[in-house]
Structure formats: C-alpha cells, structure tokens
Amino acid sequence: MRILQVMCALSLAIRGTNPILFASHKWQRGVSSAGFDPSNRRPHRAEAPENPEVSVEQGRLLGRTLVSSKGTKYHAFSGIPYAAPPIGDLRFKAPRPPAAWAGLRDARREGRICTQPLLNLTRIVTRVPRTIEPLHGDELPGLWRARPWLLQVVTNILSAGEDCLFVNVYTPQSALGKDAGGGKGLPVLFWIYGGGFVWGEGGRAFYDPDLLIDHGMVVVTFNYRLGPLGFLSLGRGSGVPGNAGVKDQRAALHWVRRNIAAFGGDPDKITVYGESAGAVCTHLHLLSPSTKGLFRGAIMSSGSAAHFWATETAAKAARRARHFAPAVNCKGNLPARELVRCLRNVRPQTLVAFHEKSLLPEDLRFITGRVPFVPVIEETEEVEDASEEPIITESPLAMLSAGKQAKVPTLMGFNSGEALIIFSGLTRDPSVESLRLADRNITCLVPDDVLPHLSLAEAEEMGHRVRRLYMGHEKPITLANKNDDKFFEMITSFFIYLDTLKLARFLAADPTAAPLYIYRFEYVGALNTFRNLLRIQTKAACHADELNYVWRVNVSPDSRTLKPNATEYKVRDMFSTMLANFVKTGSPTPRGSPLDPRLSWPPFTAMEQAYMSIDKEPRVERNYRRDIIGFWDAIFAERVGGPIWTKIVGMEERRRAVLDTQTNLVHGGHQRIAPKSTRR
C-alpha cells in the first residue's frame, strides 16, 4: 500500500484536485473526473478550437478536436454509453440497451473504466525477479513525460465502477458530416483490449489512436466488464450463464454497426482487432453465430480461442465460481440462484480483489499457470432475454473442425518473448522459485491436454524429453547464465506460438479459406511497452510489446530519449502502416501502399507457411521452429488425436514430401524468402 499512497500523493500534488470523485455529478454523465486529460500537457496533442457535434440513436453528442503528431485533425467523441449500466439485478447479466438523453451530451472526456484490481499491479512492480533491473538515468526523461498518464491510470482504477460500458469514437475531421452510405464511408477499426480478462480499458492512456488516424480510418475503443463481473458463470438454470464481458463486446459491435455512419465510417468495413485476451474474444466473434456478418476482417495478436488457456467448460467454470465464493463471504454450496443473490450483494471492488481465489489446485499444475476468469462454453438453454443469446455452446476446436469460423481475411501474430510477462506476475509470482517449478516436478512441462493420456512414468519421461528439446540439458533452472533465453523460449511456445501456429495451419489446410497473414514481432527498442514498464532485461519482445508500435501508448515511458530519426519510429511507422493497410484493404502490403514497394507480405498457406518477422528490417521467413513444431505435432496426434490434429498431420505429411524434394537450404528451422518486387 505504500506505493499506492505515494502515487496518490503525487497525483494530488500534480493535479491539485481530489483524484477520487465517486460522487461527482460528472461521473453520472460518464465524464472523466475533474476534466483531467494528460494530453493537454503535450504540445502536439493540443485541442483545435472546433466543437464538433454528431447525432446517434440515443441523442446528440459534443466532441472535441485533436491534432495527431503528423498534423491530422480528428474528432474525438468519448464516454458514449453503448449499453445500460449493468448494476443491481443486471450484475453478471448480458448488457441491456442504453437509455436516450435530452439535449447535448458532453462527450469530450472518457467515461469510467470497469472495476479491476490494483493490488496485483503493485505485486508486479514490488516483487521482482532478477530479470528486472532498476531505473537508470537515460530512462528518467521518458518516465517524467509519462507521469501524468501513469497517475491517470491509477486514478482510473481507484474510481472504476460497474457503470462503465462506454465507447470512444475517433474520426478524421474530413470524414464527419459526409455521406457515409453506399460504401462511401471510411474503414473502421474496432479494438478489443487485452489484460488477462481482469485488467484493461479503452482510453487513450493505453490506446491513443494517433498513429492509425493518419491512415484515414475511424477508430473505436470501448470498455467491457472484467474478472468475475464479466466472466463468472454458474451454468444452466442459474441465470448467470457467463460471458457477460464478451456480450458487452457484442453489444458495442452492434452499436457501432448502427451508428458509425454518423461519424463517417462504413458499417460494412469493420475490422475487429484484439490483443491477448482481446484476441481470444476476437476469435470468439469469428466463431459465434450471434456476431456473424458484423465485420469483414480480424486481427489477433498473441492469442485466440484455440489457445489452451482461452476458454473453459461450463462445469469447470461453475466449479471455479463456487471455489471463489467463500473468499467474498458467500457459501459455495448454495443453490445457484441463491449464490448469485449473495454475490450481487458483494462490493464490486471486493469481487475483483479476490479473483485469483477462483483457481483450483489443478489450474496451477502446468508451468504457465492459468487465468482465473475466462470465456465459457455456455450450456444450451432457453434464454430470459434476447440479449442473453450465447456466444458459443461448443468448444472452439469443435467449431473449427466443423467449419463454423467466419471466412474473412485474418491477420495473426505473436512476439518473440511472450513468456516474460508470465513471470512478471500475470499468472506466476515474479520470483526465482516460480522459475524452478520444473526442477521440483518435471511433469509441469506436460500440457494439460496431453497429461490425461499418460501414466505417471510416461508423464515424467515426456517432461524430461521436453526439457532436453528446449534447454539441451537437465541442469537446474537459473537466471545466472545464458539458459534464460532457452527457458523463456520454451514457455513462450507453450503460452502462445504453438497454438497460434496450430490454428494457422488448420485454417490454411482449407482450400476455400480467406487470406491469412502471420507475423512474429521481435524488435526490441525504447518503445517496447511491457519490457519498459516491467524493467525486463532479456533481449526479446515481451507479451504486448508490439502495442506501442501500433498505438501511442502514453502510459509507457520510453527507455531512452529518442531522436526524430530513431529506428523505433521507423519500425512504428512500418508496422502500424501494415496493420492499417490490412484494415483498409484486407492485405498488409497492397499495391499503392506507402511502404517500400519491394516489401511483400505473402499469405500463410499450407505449403509455404510464410510469416513476416517484424524487426528493424522486416523480412519474410517460413517454417517457424520446424523441429519444435514437429515434436509437438507427433505428441498431440498420437496422444490426443481428433479431427484438428488429423487434418494438420495429414497436411504436414504432404508438405514434408514436397519440402524434402526441394533444394532450398534451410538453416535453424527458418528459410528466408527474398522480398518480391510486386505486392499481393
């Protein structure tokens, strides 16, 4: 609590106002406390004098005009309710339609964010492993520039609440007021933030659209419910089937479809983009019949619904909910509806503070750990309200094997050091002891899907094989030598890239599939978001590090002062342009793009399996970690089986036969592809 007290004191000193305005009449209208906006402290973020107005289905809105770092004027409309406040009897329920208002609503400040814990964040920054280093002199200017945003984030969390379902719309000044019908509107980026389903917000502290607005599109961010408030499920007959947070996203997507033309956007040109937990949700919307046809493209960074940690069965979710209940003074053995009534009487801050208490002993076995509250595979039943229509009632893998995923252009990717975030406090305590789980129990290296198919002796033997595959030895895990990278490579494969490439290869095996593009983000620079925030020394791109190369992450301090021609800015311009191109055209490197005309990002296909490595010099490669992928293919095909693996293994056998006849030289599991002079 000492860190919290210091930060609040600094907030008071800098702002000169009370940072917690729970009773403020402005909060009742969804306006940020005290009208504080750190952007007003930055010269390039100065507001232009225009006071734009727009009409949506609920009433009229007053926005403000901002200027991007490249001089593009754009309008920001913030804190717009897209659903009714989910309070009282609506807690844990799917969102209901928002109320209209009379007169002109002030949409110049962001709305309240959804209730989320702060203590876990303080744990991350106060209990650090040896991979994390102290601040040094070069970083202090960046930290000083970011201080208003850092304080705003703390203020937002302290004043968070359940009345939080707000959307923010950013549109180029030139688009507002123009006829957006008949395909004339701008493409729309619909952003779903990550945060382990327990943290996050759609505000400009984390997701400033500055870089994307310059590419001529409408950008939409929003808040959705988190933790137990967004993902608690007690199963059939309880009235709480789960996925309230994903249903919030669905409601926001429907709101955008109905209203985005008023902002100059085309409702038929929406691309859904999510990172981590947001990528899982993006994939759920690709699978769900209830969101079919609402968008034309998808971007999934560092996650999908096919990842082992992404969803849970209704039965397991209900067990977790009942295991969680005693931590908040509710009896876990109550009949479902009585338990729901008890949980509705618990303060929201208490519910999220104890979210980790939902984890069962078996959830902690695998070395990556588990996220406490996740989307659930809902049980089929008659719904009380049309808004309660399930997101999914089958497992994502079953839906994939049945061909139920929407066939739209998709871009997926992962970072080179995803696992660094896990041992900084996401699912494991940031301690050396957490790194040595495999020294105490070698079976923690065997995935949960495989373990039930093995005897104890087989599980131990497999654990040793896994360790030798990645580490090359069986010495104790230590951070005092060069084994760090090998260890984190192993956890990164478990956490993200094995399942990303499983999904990519399954989709690519369908000859009728829409174009699919894959990237690996490996650049390490002064703008890497979590590597900087968490003080990580390892030379790899941490989970979420790519965000500051797509958005302007104002809360992230630069690790050193950058000159205008810095490589970081070149990588940022390149990567954000690629993603903007995809939103506008369905291809990251279309003809006429401002990118180098020699750079072509080919689709990922069953035979080619090409992907883009994002570094200071982007390059196209193929056959990512062929040795590791082949190892796990054989294990899952033999021990787990099923239509997914049957299809993947059959495809890989045909592909291997072709590759074995080729004379191209393969080094280290990678095969370079020379840039082509034409784009696809």
Catalytic positions, please?
Answer: 276, 418
User: Counting beta carbons within 10 angstroms of the beta carbon of residue 102, is it exposed (0 to 12), middle (13 to 18) or buried (19 or more)?
Assistant: exposed
**CA distances for 255 relative to 190, 197, 262, 263, 267, angstroms:** 11, 22, 12, 12, 10
Q: Which of 529, 542, 514, 571 is nearest to 302 (CA)?
A: 542
CA–CA gap between residue 467 and residue 484 (Å, rounded): 13
CA–CA gap between residue 645 and residue 59 (Å, rounded): 51
CB of 546 within 8 A of CB of 415? yes
CB of 266 within 8 A of CB of 184? yes
User: Given CA atoms 17, 22, 28, 29 in this order, what sign does their dihedral have?
Assistant: positive
Structure token pair of residue 474:
């069986």
CA–CA gap between residue 282 and residue 286 (Å, rounded): 6
CB of 41 within 8 A of CB of 148? yes
Q: Which of 206, 256, 228 is nearest to 358 (CA)?
A: 228
Residue 473, C-beta contacts closer than 8 angstroms, at least 6 positions apart: 467
Helix axes 483-492, 456-471, angle to 10 degrees: 120
Structure token pair of residue 417:
């050091």
Structure token pair of residue 325:
């209940």
**CA distances for 285 relative to 82, 248, 258, 281, 559, angstroms:** 18, 12, 18, 6, 36
Residue 223, C-beta contacts closer than 8 angstroms, at least 6 positions apart: 111, 113, 114, 164, 165, 166, 201, 202, 248
CB of 109 within 8 A of CB of 35? yes
Structure token pair of residue 250:
């669905």
CA–CA gap between residue 680 and residue 101 (Å, rounded): 48
Structure token pair of residue 113:
């964010």
CB of 175 within 8 A of CB of 265? yes
CB of 417 within 8 A of CB of 492? yes
- Coil vs helix vs strand at 250: helix
CA–CA gap between residue 361 and residue 356 (Å, rounded): 12
CA–CA gap between residue 83 and residue 69 (Å, rounded): 33
Helix axes 498-508, 626-639, angle to 10 degrees: 80
**DSSP for 141-160, written as a single string:** HHHHHHHHHHHHHHHHHHT-
